[in-house]
Structure 1
Amino acid sequence: MRFMLNWLFTSIAIAIATFLVPGIQPFGFAEAWVCFAFVGLFLNIVDSFVKPFLTVISLPLTIITLGIFQLVLNSFMLELASYLSVNLLGVGISIAGFGSAFMGSILVSIMRSILDSIAED
């Protein structure tokens, strides 16, 4: 149940980021909500399996930058989820560059935190 709720919140956060950040747009033959759902699914999978490994590897750099490098890591996770979604399923989001991914990952993180706090109440 928690995975499904996290998937829904991630998809909503990606949809909001897509509409607010220039350079991120739905991609593929399906409707926009399907694109957001697939990228949300892949982002949850990437955050579950790949991100912990990369977080441990980049720990010294994260300590040196006082945690700012985690924002860069989140940007790469968003780009990886987008890449996997588009190349494996043919639908997802198109990210124009690293700046768009960076702003999108910040917005997705903020929205996920807000939605999680709402769901806990």
Structure 2
Amino acid sequence: MGILIRILVTALAALLTQYILPGVSIDSFTTALLVAIVLGLLNLIVKPVLVILTLPVTVVTLGLFLLVINALIVMWAGSLVKGFKVDNFWWALLFSVVLSIISSIMLSLGPGTDKD
């Protein structure tokens, strides 16, 4: 059940993010669900490989290169999901940051987030 909630929250956060960023467009809620699923799969499968391959650069940049990896994954998702358009790298970078912030806030407001 937790993964379904996370996918729904990510889809809603993606829809909210597209209203904030003019360089990103998502056609519908169904497209947002597909974006959430594709981003989840890319983060699960591709991101760990990219992190390992770029570890020296990531260490030198004190972890900031991870933002570049996130932006590249968003751009890749944009090329895979019809109806999800990211204008350029910088919009993808902003999208990944804003999406992370919004989904973190939404997940923290949900039930079961108490640490007690």
Task: Find runs of 4+ consecutive structure 1 residues off by over 4 angstroms.
Answer: none
TM-score (norm 1): 0.85
* 1:76 has 2:67 as partner: no
**CA offset at residue 108 of structure 1?**
0.8
CA RMSD of aligned residues (A): 1.3
For structure 2, the 5+ residue unaligned runs are none
Q: Note the alpha carbon deviations across 1:36-59, whole angstroms, 9 max, x for none.
A: 111111111111111111111111
**Number of residue pairs matched by the alignment:** 112
Number of the residue aligned with 1:62? 58
Q: What secondary structure is seen at the aligned counterpart in 2 of 1:94?
A: strand
Aligned counterparts of 1:51 and 1:93: Cα–Cα separation in 2 = 20
Aligned counterparts of 1:117 and 1:57: Cα–Cα separation in 2 = 32
TM-score (norm 2): 0.88
Identity over aligned pairs, percent = 30
For structure 1, the 5+ residue unaligned runs are 87-91
Q: Note the alpha carbon deviations across 1:55-96, whole angstroms, 9 max, x for none.
A: 11111111110111111111111111221112xxxxx31111
